[in-house]
Structure 1
Amino acid sequence: MNRAFRFTLAALSCLALTAQAADLAAGKAKSEQVCASCHLADGNSTNPQYPILAGQHPDYLRKALRDYQSGARSNAIMADQAKALSKAEIDNLSAWFASQPSKLNMAR
């Protein structure tokens, strides 16, 4: 193996060890505990006051929750909900909602 290839392989191995896959089952369980009353457990809210989370990009959902935690995004209810979440819980919730089929009505 050449030196560049070994370096690349070592770097990718480190990334794989540090990146932790989200736990969909944990995301589902957490959604049932803290999200379902407004967004429903699968993220397909039927109340127009609460956004549909199902099918959203996980990066968007993670950023939104972290922004609620930090105060960069303002909503009293969501700020309180988000502050109680760990990084792993945010990752799990984001992955769970992203994996759910969305019932958004796409008008054209």
Structure 2
Amino acid sequence: MIRGFTLTLIGAALALTATQSIAAGDPAAGAKKVATCVSCHGKDGNSVDPQYPRLAGQYADYLSQALHEYKSGKRDNAIMKGFVATLSDQDIEDISAYFHTMPTKLSGLEGHVQGD
């Protein structure tokens, strides 16, 4: 009984932590910080040039992780490393939240998987 309660308590703590990290970014603030991003990724995060990823609609946590990895050098891209070098952690969260809220033009697997 105590073990089940402990696991429930741990699960609740993890859920609360995850919710807080998702809510950390402010899309409105992020909209004011994406001037450099839009030159390659597009104003709405839907790049028309296939060499640049579409950011719109991506998970904010994924975008944040990617930006932190460019900043730390874990992801190796000279252009991105230069762009993120001056971003604070809050800037990264805000930018990630902004692109997450933008409508995506990414296509799914509909019509590409046998049986659809």
Q: TM-score, normalised by structure 1?
A: 0.77
Matched-pair identity in %: 48
Counterpart position of 1:54? 56
Deviations 1:61-106 (A, max 9, x none): 0000000000000101000011111111100000000111110133
Q: Structure 1 residue 75 and structure 2 residue 83: aligned? A: no
- Whole-Å Cα distance in 2 between the matches of residues 82 and 44 of structure 1? 19
Counterpart position of 1:22? 25
Q: Is the 8 A contact 1:28 1:41 kept in 2?
A: no
More helix by percentage:
1
- Unaligned stretches of 5+ residues in structure 2: 1-8
- Unaligned stretches of 5+ residues in structure 1: 1-7
Corresponding residue pairs, total:
94
CA shift, 1:22, in A, is 2.0
Letter in 1 for 2:99: F
CA shift, 1:21, in A, is 3.6
Letter in 2 for 1:42: D
- Whole-Å Cα distance in 2 between the matches of residues 103 and 93 of structure 1? 18
